Amino acid sequence: MNITPGIYFIYTSPWGKISNKVQFNVTTTDQTVLNLYLQDKEIAATSDCGATYPVSYLVPKTTSVADASLRILFSKELARYGVYKSVSIVNGVAKVMLDSAETPSSTYLRFLSSCEKMHILAVLRDTLTQYSTIKSVELYSPDGKIEF
């Protein structure tokens, strides 16, 4: 049996209900699986804007997993909050630089709702702190550190 690289879900379906769903990542030596944390919109709508869940992405092999993770996050989950420029990791702190403090719709980050701010921080924190070299996350614009 040939299995192509990808993400597979294995489960049983007795009486039409999915049971014991397990995710498997099949990779090759030239690919890496990145686990990104996205906002759990169901929980966020009722009680916790910072609730996240992991989603696996299969990408070309890289040693810059934080950078690769952020490129995906800012092209999908966080696109409306700014344009990702770079990340530097210094003494366990991931310093995430945005191209500007303005979103594509010209709304400054400081005017976001508390729920939107929690969403950004939770997604960045949960995604980046899974890597052993990162203990915390800070967000920056060309004007300096972004404080919420």
Q: How far is it, in rounded angstroms, from Cα 148 to Cα 118?
A: 9
- The answer as to whether 103 is a domain residue is yes
Residue range of the domain that includes 101: 29-145
**CB 132 within 8 Å of CB 121:** no
Q: How far is it, in rounded angstroms, from Cα 90 to Cα 13?
A: 47
- The answer as to whether 1 is a domain residue is no
- The answer as to whether 21 is a domain residue is no
Q: How far is it, in rounded angstroms, from Cα 93 to Cα 122?
A: 15
- Could you tell me which of 58, 59, 40, 62 has the C-alpha nearest to residue 49? 40
- The answer as to whether 87 is a domain residue is yes
What pLDDT shows up at residue 146? Answer: 84
What pLDDT shows up at residue 10? Answer: 85
What pLDDT shows up at residue 75? Answer: 92
Our count of domains for the chain comes to: 1
- The answer as to whether 16 is a domain residue is no
The pTM for the full model equals 0.73
- The answer as to whether 53 is a domain residue is yes
Tell me the H-state helices in the chain. 41-46, 65-75, 114-128
What pLDDT shows up at residue 30? Answer: 78
Report residues of the chain scoring pLDDT below 50: 103-106
What pLDDT shows up at residue 103? Answer: 45
- Could you tell me which of 95, 60, 99 has the C-alpha nearest to residue 82? 99
What pLDDT shows up at residue 110? Answer: 65
What pLDDT shows up at residue 1? Answer: 59
Q: How far is it, in rounded angstroms, from Cα 85 to Cα 5?
A: 30
- The answer as to whether 52 is a domain residue is yes
